[in-house]
Structure 1
Amino acid sequence: MEIKYEGEKMKKKIPLQVLETIESYVNLQGTTFDSVDPNEFLLKFVDKDNNSDFYFNVETYKMENDFQILIDFKPSNKQTVGNRKAWIRAEQLEFNFTNWLKILEGYDSVKTVFDDPIIKAYSDEYYTEFEIIDKDADTKPFATKQILLLDDHLEGIQMKIDNFQTKENNAEIEKIKENIQELRNNLTKKSKKWVLKKLSNIWAKITNQGPNLMKEFLSEAKKQAIKEGVKFLFENGGNLLI
């Protein structure tokens, strides 16, 4: 029998075998994807890129001759950006989900004319400076004090960056402001790695605007305060960024 869900799902209305099969995927987070509210589905994952409509859904299950689950994911393979919807045996979930992740990772690593190699180089340089060693960096958010430290830093940039806006760099500065607001909106919702990748990209775009902006927003003292504050939760780290 195929099951559909309406309204709030109750775990004791779902067979234990189904719950055990999807248990390791619940609230799973990664560098390329997010686990989001599945609504009427069992599981729902989306690409972390806000400009992407890639997803992987585990919609429902049926227990007839054997235990099967209905999946829908996009892209379905390297040759298309279209989706695929299919019933599979429950034990095939890991294989299909892993293949979907490999495609997302491929998009992240491939070099194209749509990427700015200079900004990527700066972003990679900044990201490596954080030396992330936390085993849960892919799945856990920062501590509240770290979040407030980062938010203070981002707010400081937002308050002053208009002073450096000109006709020539208007589009780039507006994009930086959009990226900052996106990051501030997600500091409490995203994983440590996601936050630091976004922060590194913002720093890279500021760097690309020249020494004046670097001196104002990315002096070694300010960068070090952020890096140390993120690592060691300095009680007064925020004061160093004022």
Structure 2
Amino acid sequence: MINPKEHPLAFVQNIQSIFTQIRGRVKNYSSIIRIVKDQDFKIVMEDLDPSSNFSFEIFEPEFPNNRVVFQIKQTPANNINLDSKEHALFSEQILRNLDGWISLITQYNNIQISSEDKILKAYEDEYYDSFKLTEDDANDKPYEVGKQLMLAEFLDSAIVALSNHETIHEDLIIEATAIKEELPNLTKQATVKRLSRFFALVRKKGIEFLKSLIIAAKDEAIKQVVSGGFDLVKGIL
């Protein structure tokens, strides 16, 4: 653990300020990125897509000439190079670079090359719209612990059902597991976004497959965690 009193006050104040802003950015985009390490003088973020290796690391701050300089490693380097890029940035430059990295992920997520991509996006939008997320704090706060536990119970049931299906769908198991693990750190909006994508991926496998999975959610209380969304799932069966 870092002892702030072992460093110049201006140095640690600058780090505190930039790290607070970075966490705010991640919170605003918690439906597509997450923090996987936030310790001492290092923050590591990554794309939530389980098939992606995109990441953004901030580490090893120094204080030359009374200015804070961080090492940055980001993947991809830019929109024409998928390799990683490591370079030094002054603290005031970090947010601009982070915003550029987030923009890359957003643009990738909007790519719809095939008709299947368009169908998946339509399903995802349909579920997201149906969840009727009206809480004023949806962008700021996670679900209450009781609702998180009910969602975790549903996801556990879904994982079991997916594992026992005649065709094991590893991609869906990975997605359900990731959502469950991240529930405590997801805002309500991010939770709904992730669930919408999960249901869209399941539905794309076929209506009967979706039906068999939803039957796994035996507890009706689970269906009330997020208003509307589960009703839509039941309605299309």
| TM-score bucket (shorter structure) | 0.7 to 0.9
Q: Deviations 1:69-112 (Å, cap 9, x if unpaired)?
A: 22222222111112222222322222111111111111111223
Q: What is the TM-score of this pair, normalised by structure 1?
A: 0.72
Measure the CA separation in 1 of the matches of 2:117 and 2:18: 41
Q: Aligned in 2, Cα 1:9/1:215: closer, same or farther, shift over 3 Å?
A: same
Q: How does 1:1-242 map to 2 (within 5 A)?
A: 8-14=1-7, 15=11, 16-26=13-23, 28-29=26-27, 30=29, 31-39=31-39, 41-70=41-70, 71-113=72-114, 116-134=117-135, 137-138=138-139, 140-160=141-161, 165-166=165-166, 170-171=167-168, 173-218=169-214, 228-230=224-226
Q: Deviations 1:171-222 (Å, cap 9, x if unpaired)?
A: 5x44434433333333224333333233222322332344434445558x99
Contact 1:32 1:48 in 2 (8 A): yes
The answer to which structure has the higher helix fraction is 2
Shift, 1:138, TM fit: 4.9
Structure ID, larger Rg: 1
Measure the CA separation in 1 of the matches of 2:163 and 2:84: 42
Q: Deviations 1:130-169 (Å, cap 9, x if unpaired)?
A: 2334565455432111112222333344455567x44xxx
Q: Aligned in 2, Cα 1:160/1:47: closer, same or farther, shift over 3 Å?
A: closer
Name the amino acid aligned to 1:180: A
Q: Aligned in 2, Cα 1:58/1:183: closer, same or farther, shift over 3 Å?
A: closer
Name the amino acid aligned to 2:21: S
Gaps of 5+ in 1: 1-7, 233-242
- Secondary structure of the residue aligned to 2:61 is strand
Q: Aligned in 2, Cα 1:95/1:205: closer, same or farther, shift over 3 Å?
A: closer
- Secondary structure of the residue aligned to 1:65 is helix
Shift, 1:226, TM fit: 5.0
Contact 2:50 2:174 in 1 (8 A): no
Measure the CA separation in 2 of the matches of 1:75 and 1:160: 35
- Secondary structure of the residue aligned to 2:80 is coil
Measure the CA separation in 2 of the matches of 1:102 and 1:177: 28
Q: What is the TM-score of this pair, normalised by structure 2?
A: 0.73
